[in-house]
Amino acid sequence: MQNNVEKIIIFDTTLRDGEQAPGASLNQKEKLDIALALEKLGVDAIEAGFPISSPGDFAAVKLIAGQVKRPAICALARAIPRDIDAAFSAVKPAKHPRIHVFLATSKIHMRYKLKKAEGEILRLAAKAVKYARNVCDDIEFSPEDASRTERQFLYRVIEAVIAAGAKTVNIPDTVGYAEPYEFGSLIRSIRENVPNVHKAVISVHCHNDLGLAVANSLAAVKNGARQVECTINGIGERAGNASLEEIVMGLKVRRDSFSGLKTSVRTEGIYNTSRLVSKLTGFAIAPNKAIVGSNAFRHEAGIHQDGVLKKRSTYEIILPEDVGFKVEGLVLGKHSGRHAFKERLKKLGYKLKEKEIDGVFKEFKLLADKKKEVFDDDLMSLVQEKAEGSVPSVWRLDTFTVTSGNRIKPSAKIKLTLKGKAFETEASGDGPVDACYKAIEKIIRHTYRLLDYSIRSVTRGEDALGEVNLRLDMGGKEISGRSSSTDIVEASIKAYIQALNKIAHLK
C-alpha cells in the first residue's frame, strides 16, 4: 500500500443484519453463494450470522467459515458465555475467525430491555470480551444504541472493552437516530476522550431509519472511523443499513474529500453481487436506487442526453463499467452452443459444476425458443433459479390450464406431482393467479397466507422474462419463493411451489 494511504475496512453484514429484513430468509446454499460473491468482490470481513439464534444459522456460519478463505468470518454473540461459545464453534474453521460481542449501553435499553445499571453493564461488557478473547484472538465489541448513549459512560465502556482485549470497537447508530454532523462529532469525541482508543479500530454500523445511514457512515470516516459495516443494496432491519455500494463509490468518486483513503473492493463486481442478493432475497432493487438501480445510468431529458453525448462527465460522475453495469448485454440466442454458453457464464462470474451447467443450459434453450434475444439478466435469473441444490424439489409442476376473461370467473386446472404421484384439481378465484393458488391449496390441503406478491420484468421487450417474488406466512415465519418465465402465470405457480418446497424442507 502506498505511503499516506489508509485502508477503510469493509465489513459486510448482508448475511446477518441484512437477512434480518422481514422476508429475506436464505437457505445455507444461498448464504454460501452470497459469501463467495462477497469474497470475490473484495470485502475484508463477512458477518455470516448469529449462530446461537438457530441450528440453521449455526450450520450456515460454519459452512461459510470452512469454504471462504480470504476475508475474516465473523459471528455475532450477546455478552453471555453460551452465545460466545456457539459463535466460536461456528467460526473456528475459518482462516480468519472473529467474534462480534454486543451489549446495549443507552439508558432506554438498560432500563427497559436489560433492567441493569451502568456499573453492571460495564462489568458484563469487559467480562464478555475477556471470555471471548480466551478462545479467539480477533474480538469486536458493539455498545448497542451507542448514538443514544450518554457520552461519558460510552467512553468508559469503550476503554474497558479495549483493555479486556477488543481489537475493534463498533459504534452503532442502532435505530438510525443520528444525523451526520452529530455522528461525526461522536466519533471524534471517542478518539479524543478514550485513552487507549489507539489500540483498536473504530468501526461504525448505521441504520437508515431517517435515510442517513450512508451520510452518517461517511461522516464517521471523515472523523477517524476506519471500518464501515454495511450491506449489499442496503438491506436490513426496518429501513435497512448503510449501502455497501454507496459507501465504496462515495469514497472512490470523492477522492478530493476522502484524500488518502481507499478500500479493497473491486467495484466492477458490484452489479453482479447486487443482482445476486436481490434475486436470492426476493427484494427488488428500486429503479432509482443509487449505483445499482436500472435508471442509474439512463438519461431521458433531452438536455441530459445531449450533454452525455458530448461529454459523459456532464451528467455521469460514475461510468457504468466502473460498477460492472451492463447497459445492453445482448449475449446469446437459440442457435448458441454449449461452449459459448459456458464462456458467457464465466464472464458473468459464475463457477458451476458440469451437472449444474447442464440443467441451466437446458432451461436456456427452452427460453431461447420463446425469446428472440437472451440477455445477461435473463441468464443470471436462470442460474439463480435452476442451479442444483437451491431448493430441494418435493412438489413439481406438471401441467396447468387457466381460463380468464372480463365476463367470466377466472378458473385454473393444476396438476402437481409428489414423489412420482400425480395430483390434479381445479379452482376459481379473483384472477388467474389467485385461481391457480387456490387449486394448489386444494392439492396440498393447506392454506398459507400470502404476505407479498410482486412481478418485475427481468429484461425489456414484449417477450421479456417476468420474475415473480412472493412471501408466505408459515406460522409466523416468512418463506420466500421466486421464479421466472415468459408466462407470468407459470412464473407465479412456480414461485409458489418453490416456497412450498422450502416449507417441506424446513419441516
178 contacts 218 by C-beta, under 8 angstroms: no
Q: What topology is assigned to 6-281 in CATH?
A: TIM Barrel (3.20.20)
Q: Give the per-residue pLDDT at 374.
A: 78
431 contacts 410 by C-beta, under 8 angstroms: yes
Q: What topology is assigned to 395-506 in CATH?
A: Double Stranded RNA Binding Domain (3.30.160)
61 contacts 94 by C-beta, under 8 angstroms: no
Q: What is the mean pLDDT of each run of 10 residues along the chain (507 residues)?
A: 80 94 81 96 98 94 97 98 98 98 95 92 98 98 97 98 98 98 98 98 98 98 98 96 98 95 97 90 88 75 47 71 69 71 77 82 83 76 64 88 94 94 96 96 95 83 81 86 90 94 82
Four-CA torsion 66, 28, 485, 286, nearest 10 degrees: -90
Phi-psi region of 148 (alpha: psi -120 to 50; beta: other; left: phi over 0): alpha
In angstroms, the CA 404 to CA 419 distance is: 31
What are the structural domain ranges in the chain?
6-281, 302-386, 395-506
pTM: 0.81
Question: Bridge-partner residues for 469, per DSSP?
Answer: 454, 482
331 contacts 379 by C-beta, under 8 angstroms: yes
Contacts of 306 (CB under 8 A, 6+ apart): none
